[in-house]
C-alpha cells in the first residue's frame, strides 16, 4: 500500500472528511486531496505532521509495501484491522489457480455428459430398430 493510500485509509477509519483533515494540517482541501491521490510529494515535515494527526509513528506510514495487514487505532480509540493483499499477489494467484482448476474440471464433466448423451441416443436408436 502506498503512503498516500495509507493516509486515505487512516482518514476514513477516523471518519474525517478531506476538508477536516486539511484543516488539521493547516492546508487547503485541494492540496490535501492531491496528497491522497498521490499527485503531490510529501516532505518529511508534512509526513510527520500527518502521523501526529493520526497519533501514530511516521514509520507506520512508510513501512514496506508488501505487508498484507494494516492495523490502525482511531481517534476515538476504536480498533480497525484491514486484511488486504496490497503489494502482493500470492493469495490472488492461489485463488486464480483454484478457479482455473474448477473451470477445467467443469469442462471435463461437460465433455463426459455430452459423451453419455451420445451413447444413450445410440442405445435409443438401437432399441427403436428392434
Q: For 74-102, how does the pLDDT look when each residue is reduced to its tens digit (9 = 90+)?
A: 555 444 444 444 445 666 777 777 788 88
Question: Alpha-carbon distance 117 to 1, whole Å?
Answer: 52
More confident residue, 103 or 116: 116
pTM above 0.85, yes or no: no
Q: Does residue 129 contact residue 123 with C-beta atoms inside 8 Å?
A: no
Q: What is the pLDDT of residue 126?
A: 94
Q: Is the pLDDT of residue 64 over 60?
A: no
Q: What is the pLDDT of residue 97?
A: 79
Question: What own/partner pairs with CB < 8 Å and gap ≥ 24 does 13-21 have?
Answer: 13/72, 13/74, 13/78, 13/80, 14/54, 14/74, 14/75, 14/76, 15/74, 21/53
Phi, psi (5° rounding) for residue 83?
-100, 100
Half-sphere exposure of 20 (CA within 13 A, CB side): 10
SS3 (DSSP) at 82: strand
The pLDDT of 19-24, averaged and rounded, is 96
The pLDDT of 23-32, averaged and rounded, is 95
Amino acid at each position: 500500500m502506498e503512503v498516500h493510500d495509507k493516509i486515505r485509509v487512516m482518514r476514513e477509519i477516523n471518519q474525517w472528511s478531506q476538508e477536516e483533515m486539511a484543516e488539521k494540517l493547516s492546508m487547503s482541501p485541494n492540496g490535501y486531496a492531491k496528497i491522497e491521490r498521490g499527485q503531490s510529494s510529501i516532505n518529511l515535515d508534512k509526513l510527520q505532521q500527518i502521523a501526529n494527526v493520526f497519533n501514530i509513528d511516521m514509520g507506520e506510514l512508510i513501512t514496506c509495501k508488501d505487508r498484507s495487514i494494516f492495523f490502525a487505532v482511531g481517534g476515538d480509540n476504536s480498533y480497525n484491522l484491514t486484511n488486504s493483499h496490497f503489494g502482493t499477489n500470492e493469495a490472488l494467484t492461489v485463488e486464480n489457480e483454484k478457479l482455473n482448476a474448477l473451470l477445467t474440471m467443469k469442462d471435463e464433466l461437460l465433455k463426459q455428459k455430452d459423451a453419455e448423451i451420445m451413447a444413450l441416443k445410440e442405445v435409443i436408436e438401437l432399441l427403436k430398430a428392434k
